[in-house]
């Protein structure tokens, strides 16, 4: 398996002149993330006001699910845009993108 350098994961899309694969769904991702922010603030208030543990755990589960949905959306965008384009245009870059995808999946599936 090819190792992807750390800087490849944080490459500046402006420097590459290629927009990120999630651009078409950016507003959807941001909307979900803003909802997650609100949920986190709600959980903080619940702990501060000493709400029942199970109620807090239920909200934590909801936030975790919401973050997983954002991650899955970003992975889908990455596969359909970045990986597919690389595989179609350059075999070596395609292999590198598939390796990058495998690493991203490993990080995403970590619990």
Please tell me the pTM assigned to this model: 0.73
When pLDDT is cut at 50, 70 and 90, the band that residue 17 belongs to is: low
Domains and CATH numbers, the chain: 24-109 (1.20.58.1000)
Q: What is the pLDDT of residues 51-76, one digit of tens each?
A: 999 999 999 999 999 999 999 999 99
Q: Kindly list the distances between the CA atom of residue 36 and the CA atoms of 16, 57, 82, 105, in Å, as whole numbers in the listed order.
A: 30, 15, 26, 21
Least Cα distance to 62 among 78, 75, 46 occurs for 46
Q: Kindly list the distances between the CA atom of residue 61 and the CA atoms of 14, 32, 43, 56, 76, in Å, as whole numbers in the listed order.
A: 36, 15, 11, 9, 22
Query: Which pLDDT belongs to residue 1?
Result: 43
pLDDT at 40 over 80: yes
pLDDT at 35 over 50: yes
């Amino acid at each position: 398996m090819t190792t992807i350098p750390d800087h490849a994961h944080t490459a500046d899309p402006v420097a590459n002149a290629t927009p990120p694969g999630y651009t078409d769904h950016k507003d959807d991702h941001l909307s979900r993330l803003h909802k997650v922010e609100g949920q986190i603030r709600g959980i903080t208030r619940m702990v501060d006001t000493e709400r029942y543990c199970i109620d807090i755990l239920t909200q934590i589960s909801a936030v975790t699910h919401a973050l997983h949905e954002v991650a899955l959306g970003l992975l889908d965008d990455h596969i359909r845009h970045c990986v597919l384009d690389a595989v179609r245009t350059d075999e070596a870059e395609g292999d590198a993108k598939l390796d990058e995808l495998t690493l991203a999946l490993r990080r995403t599936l970590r619990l």
